[in-house]
Structure 1
């Protein structure tokens, strides 16, 4: 090495190759001035290049079981059942004071010994589960380091699924982490947390954070169909508020308390009667109920508002002919947005919540959003105020 002044000692160096013809191997060894080494070989007491499914490959591990040296080995290969049984036997003898010459009766089963201390065990690692967990770190790293060169090489060589020509390491990894049936633990343990949305295929997920949203599919698709346009920042924020309301992720006081945010008064800031929740704020609050009554009177319909926002949405959406649903969903979203804005105005700016003003602003906001959303909606505000359902026929 030029920087340190060190040089390679070719007399102590050996060349090990895999899947190369003998004459090619000889030429490489001659070029490097070193000898050819047979595979498998032993390095730092570990067998390199041997089949991980053979007991002979694991014999050095059994000798060094109580050291940290085998950790890399068991984090890379799936331990055969016979090797796991042999390791457990060695540890059992050590625990109960036995030896090769004489055995002692174990007082507690090995499964109970491996249980956590809080459950009456000793907290000794279950070697089989520990091996699977270490292999699972490779799958985890592939999810996070998918842009790294080593991950790209593996994906280009083996692909994402099962490959009959893959190495034993890759097959064991799939079997342990992402395959049927034992490997489902890894897939089932994953969940998506929505960030910027660049990597989340939202409609491909049957669940989101454990909460069923299939019944909200039509509403969320309509919300997502809005095309961002210059000057529509409030519309985009309105879509975000509607989405969080339907998933109960909006910052109502009960949700803030659930996240251990100190709230001096959990009651609704509008009516000051019941505790503020998504269902109360956007549906059953006496102040907001007046807004919905004005909306329904304007549309020429009426229904008893349920306490749940999801039920409110489902009931609201089934009152209309199918050709008007998209426009009326926009009305529903505009009311949700304006209620949230009015609530924040009262809390943070000491304003007042007037149901009539909130209704009129929501009606105007729905008209603005429909004008931006679809080119066929060309009606003026007077037509929209007087004949809303007729205006929606053109959407």
Structure 2
């Protein structure tokens, strides 16, 4: 009888161990507890890149919605988002506060190549997961030297190569003008673009000029580029300057084939201010569903998005592509937390971030967020698109560009 009892208790013990509540011992790092998960963020709610502020607003609203239904694995998300004005020194100050005072478990969606470059080493020295960085600079995919940092956007250099390949295919005798922001963000795009053109870059690029984020306008740069005789224009700018450039190109009567980097391809925050009529023919790329595209009208994820925006952010423009970007980041963050389960240590957060294989509802079908221990670039598949005056229209097949 005693033997039978021991067997019964052993069987019960195995059953309990296999049950969900007993499957994983709770482990917590800074910012995590039975009731809460602290996540930090810096983003420009003010300054020259304030158009991106909607990303932080959407993420905050999404986590609020989630908390109202119980959070993730029974824990509420405490999302602490701070304005850094797109100023790297301010970013450093705010990140130190988030890490050392607020003691967040990890950060997401910190925006801008210059801003993230300023905190890159700090986050890795502190061993704080620095996740889904809102920039596509190639440096974020360096699992060996910076194992605590991971990007979100497709690689800027890869995107630049995508446009270069399209130019070589369709405009092999092009004279190319380039406008780019004078920092790591602009230079990264330009590097990929020139590499994509290969040996022809020296003869095809007839003029390249820069601007500073402190410049009031890029009007003079556009006039200079027009004067070069270029018939193709690669526009590497953030939203404020992208809108100015699109408008000025039209106003001076310049009619180049106009490529616009994806970070400024929002219809709501860039093309509308520039003038939809002046934006016709622009070429860019997508990897997230476009809220202005009627083909997604019956898509379940897009319906959920519009309902969410109406309820939680009624004063914001749901047609702003930066808003759908913010939702995509929030959705991937929730997936990450689900994978972490009850092991909410910084080490496990990073381990799970490096083992993603998830179709984000707001991403284009087939554009899956995939990572592994040696490759921290979640997205590598892109779709070329052209603006028709109302929405972006895809052309060609989605391609994976390294």
Normalised to the residue count of structure 2, the TM-score between the two structures is 0.24
* Bigger proportion of residues as helix: 1
Per residue, is there more strand in 1 or in 2? Answer: 2
TM-score in terms of structure 1 length: 0.25
Ranked by relative contact order (alpha carbons within 8 Å, sequence separation 6 or more), the top structure is 2
